[in-house]
Amino acid sequence: MTQKLNWTHIILLTSTPILAIYGCLTVPLQRNTFLLAVAWYFLTGFGITVGYHRYWSHRTYDAIWPFQFFLMLAGSGAVQGSIKWWSRDHRAHHRFTDTDKDPYSAHKGLLWAHMGWMLFMKEKKNHGKVDISDLNKDFIVNFQEKFYPLLSVFMSFILPTLICGYFFNDYAGGFFYVGMTRQVFLHHSTFCINSLAHYMGEHNFDDRRSPRDNWITALITFGEGYHNFHHEFPSDYRNAIQTLQYDPSKWIIYTLSLFGITYNLNQFSKNEIDKGRLQMQEKKITEAKSKLDWGVPIENLMKMTWIEFVKIQREEKKQWMVIDKVVYDVEKFMDHHPGGKGFLKSSIGREVTTSFNGGVYNHSRAARNLMTGLRIAIIQDDIPAAHISKEE
Ligand code: HEM
């Protein structure tokens, strides 16, 4: 069955860029209008990240109601749907990440995750269930839901057009630059959270799902680019946890908490965060180690008794020596031994653990790694004390 197109979204997402391009080609850009466009871009962007995302979708902090109202207005100007619609889908995205029930599953491709998902009506079977009872009880969320089209058009196009017209006598600039062009940039920068942030960067905390941490995505998305962290610790008000990482949304929430405007800022403990990070580092190290040659594993080595070792040694004149009950064939290494041929020659056919470990010279880790490539057998019985090397 083919999916039905969502014409409301298609018209919205195609008409804004067309109008933006038309405006850029026909209306001269004034300095003040440009500055307002940038300010409006950040205002409406933070409405999404500080408001829709970190406040309503994840409840990562509390805020006094006038600030909630302000965030609701700012987020409405981003034209990304109502808080309830946005947060419902976002909670489904977290609960069902990368599956068919994830509204913007990155497994369906970069373009799908970026905006493809909005161009089609959602199939009923893919409506992943999530709890939005808190949103249903939220006065500001319900108020916005009721008047969303009006609030959205007013905050996105009408208000900036009026401001530019009244203060800079530039109605056209207000509409085309602060309204349309800013809208297109904002849409695509925030859409990158669903697309790029699942494709570009590192899995610093878990690699079982697609979200990744990346500073470039963070720059584009008001700090939301540390997405692997966010999916692991979604109730944390931060996305970036290191001082020099770019997360202006976190900075705003934190700064406002100093004035009591936001409060109860949620943070996962450093202990839990470090656990995840170390587990990923361990995994990466194990993978890198598996690509190196560590010689025949001890458990796969041929087994022989001390008597067999001595016999083979005598009869076949092998250049073998024993260290810690492991037999090493040093024939090919003889000319390359940094300690000289003499020491190795005098050790042939002998048990030389003590000499190797300091009796003659306490070898480095490099030497111990190197010897794994020379081992050929293991002595399975006890070596008579008389044959064991002593301090020299
Ligand atoms: C499979 C066996 C052996 C391997 C792979 C090996 C490897 C090495 C390596 C890589 C070094 C350079 C320094 C270091 O990395 O520590 C070294 C130095 C040396 N080795 Fe060995 N070695 C082996 C056995 C022995 C034995 C049995 C003796 C003594 C009886 C010995 C005596 C020395 C001495 C005296 C030095 C020189 C230390 C110096 O002057 O800097 N090695 N060996």
Q: Residues with Cβ < 8 Å from 180, sequence gap 6 or more?
A: 16, 17, 19, 20, 23, 157
- Closest-CA residue, ligand 1 atom 2, reads 371
For residue 330, which atom of ligand 1 is closest to its CA? 1
pLDDT for res 93:
96
pLDDT for res 124:
75
pLDDT for res 243:
86
Residue 259 has which token pair?
């004035």
pLDDT for res 1:
53
Cβ 135 vs Cβ 87: under 8 Å: yes
Domains of the chain: which residue ranges? 7-281, 298-387
Which of 354, 356, 372 best tests ligand 1's pocket when mutated (most atoms within 8 Å of CB)?
Answer: 356
Distance CA 193, CA 77 (A): 18
pLDDT for res 123:
81
- On the CB side of 306, CA atoms within 13 Å amount to 14
pLDDT for res 392:
56
Sign of the alpha-carbon dihedral angle for 74, 198, 209, 278: negative
Tens digit of each residue's pLDDT (9 = 90 or more) over 115-135: 999 999 988 777 788 999 999
Tens digit of each residue's pLDDT (9 = 90 or more) over 163-195: 999 999 999 999 999 999 999 999 999 999 999
Question: What is the CATH architecture assignment of 298-387?
Answer: Roll (3.10)
For residue 374, which atom of ligand 1 is closest to its CA? 1
Mean pLDDT by 10 residues, the chain (392 residues): 86 96 97 98 98 98 98 98 97 95 94 95 83 97 98 98 98 98 97 96 96 96 97 97 94 98 97 96 95 93 95 92 96 94 94 95 96 96 80 58
Collapsed DSSP state (helix, strand, coil) of residue 359? coil
Task: Write out the DSSP string of 294-356.
Answer: --S-GGGSEEE-HHHHHHHHHHH---EEEETTEEEE-TTTGGG-TT-HHHHHTTTTSB-HHHH
Whether 322 lines ligand 1, by a CB cut-off of 6 Å, is no
pLDDT for res 386:
78
- Closest-CA residue, ligand 1 atom 21, reads 339
